[in-house]
Amino acid sequence: MPLAEGIRILLDKVMAVSGNELVPLAKATGRIVAQAIDCPINVPPANNSAMDGYGVRSNDCNAAVTLTCVGEALAGQPYVGAIEAGQCIRIMTGAIIPDGIDAVVMQENVTRDQQQVTLNAGVKSGQNIRLAGEDLTSGQLLFEPGHRIKPADIGLLASLGIATVTVKRKPKVALLSNGDELVEPGQPLASGQIYESNRYALAAMLKRLPLDVDEFGIIPDQPQSIRQAFSTASEYDAVISSGGVSVGDADYIKQILEEMGQIDFWKLAIKPGKPFAYGRLGNAHYFGLPGNPVSAMVTCHQLAVPALRQLTGEHSEPPLTITATTTEAIRKRPGRLDFQRGVAQRSEDGRLLVTTTGRQGSGIMSSLSNANCFLVLEQERGNIEAGEQVEVLLFDQLLS
Ligand code: AMP
Ligand code: MG
């Protein structure tokens, strides 16, 4: 099954979790808007000056003229009082435009002698004035449900006086690793053992999404231990495991998922990550990632993450790819969509170049660690010559 087909099935099956919560603005970054947010006020709230200079009546200024300055308006300190014909006020950027004034002249364009302000002709009504509501109007839609809140959105909401936001609750995700050979970092390593790394890498990636991740630790290759972990995990919104989904003698994950839940699909035409499995366990969506560390991260990023984003309620767009020239020949056999790891950069003459990070085995974590992008090599494509164009997917905030 091609990757796109697998993603389509996932996105078809995964619905946003129900349940909202109210969070203070300072905790809302990265969260998903649950109810439409309308603009509560006009921005700016009043007509104000866009310049440091002089507020004038444009009718006075049809020819060169000398006006009398009768007061001052500062940001936060409005001018109160009348302004008669032939008068002006000193006004600073952000200060409210008082009644009577309809234009601001830059201070660089006047000469001042005591209270006398002389300026040239050619003042237009409205010049250098920011109008109330010109940025945002009270009542207009700001964010629809499903919008992920970015740092600039936090600034925008704060500028409107909004202190709390109703966001989707964080889906609960169980994260587990499977394998008799795995040992937690920090412990001594006996013969035949390796350090557990998938759970650490996956947790680091998933932390950047609005999820509540519970780490279940290392589950040994024993059906009884897996059953026990699964019965707890079935209460979650999603379960992510790595290892044990291939065809080895100690690969029990698939068998027990079938026994306690169901498998919707298994095996995709991608490299790395072929044995990826998706199914259901109780209420939970089950993402069975392969054990090889690069495969686990690639399949999590390509398959579990879009599904998890949808589970959080986010309306996300498919990622944008770009085209670059490969600096080297790449060996590839037709049949699987290949996610090679590489470094994309601009050449001195401005071309976008990409180079792989060397050996591309599915256990070679440095190939991912040294990379800033994937070279996405089409399923049907064979060997690639240096100088050919390839599709590049720059790492997003989950991988960089
Ligand atoms: P499996 O899918 O269980 O056959 O595992 C494939 C390969 O990935 C084996 O070499 C495992 O030792 C390795 N592996 C499995 N799980 C992990 C893990 N959590 N951390 C690091 N390597 C792992
Ligand atoms: Mg294993």
pLDDT digits (tens, 9 = 90+) for 170-198: 999 999 999 999 999 999 999 999 999 99
pLDDT digits (tens, 9 = 90+) for 199-229: 999 999 999 999 999 999 999 999 999 999 9
pLDDT digits (tens, 9 = 90+) for 324-342: 999 999 999 999 999 999 9
Q: Nearest ligand to the C-alpha of residue 196? A: 1
pLDDT (0 to 100) of residue 121: 84
Query: Among 95, 86, 119, 84, which residue's Cα sits nearest to residue 105?
Result: 119
pLDDT digits (tens, 9 = 90+) for 349-367: 999 999 999 999 999 999 9
pLDDT digits (tens, 9 = 90+) for 151-173: 999 999 999 999 999 999 999 99
Distance CA 215, CA 321 (A): 32
Q: Nearest ligand to the C-alpha of residue 184? A: 1
Q: What does pLDDT average to over the chain?
A: 97
Confidence of residue 68 (pLDDT cuts 50, 70, 90): very high
Q: Cβ(168)–Cβ(19) under 8 Å?
A: yes
pLDDT digits (tens, 9 = 90+) for 233-280: 999 999 999 999 999 999 999 999 999 999 999 999 999 999 999 999
pLDDT (0 to 100) of residue 186: 98
Q: Is the pLDDT of residue 379 over 90?
A: yes
Query: Among 200, 245, 208, 247, which residue's Cα sits nearest to residue 226?
Result: 245
Minimum-distance ligand 1 atom for the alpha carbon of 178: 16
DSSP 3-state percent helix, strand, coil across the chain (nearest 5)? 20, 35, 45
Minimum-distance ligand 1 atom for the alpha carbon of 221: 3
298 Cα to the center of ligand 1, angstroms: 14
- CA 305 from chain center: how many Å? 12
- What does the angle CA 136 – CA 140 – CA 146 come to, to the nearest 5 degrees? 110
Distance CA 390, CA 379 (A): 13
Percent of the chain residues past pLDDT 90, beyond the cut: 99
> What mean pLDDT is predicted for residues 299-318?
97
275 Cα to the center of ligand 2, angstroms: 12
> What mean pLDDT is predicted for residues 375-392?
98
Q: Cβ(32)–Cβ(168) under 8 Å?
A: yes
In eight-state DSSP terms, residue 17 is P
Ligand 1, pocket-test mutation among 178, 182, 246, 253, most atoms within 8 A of CB: 182
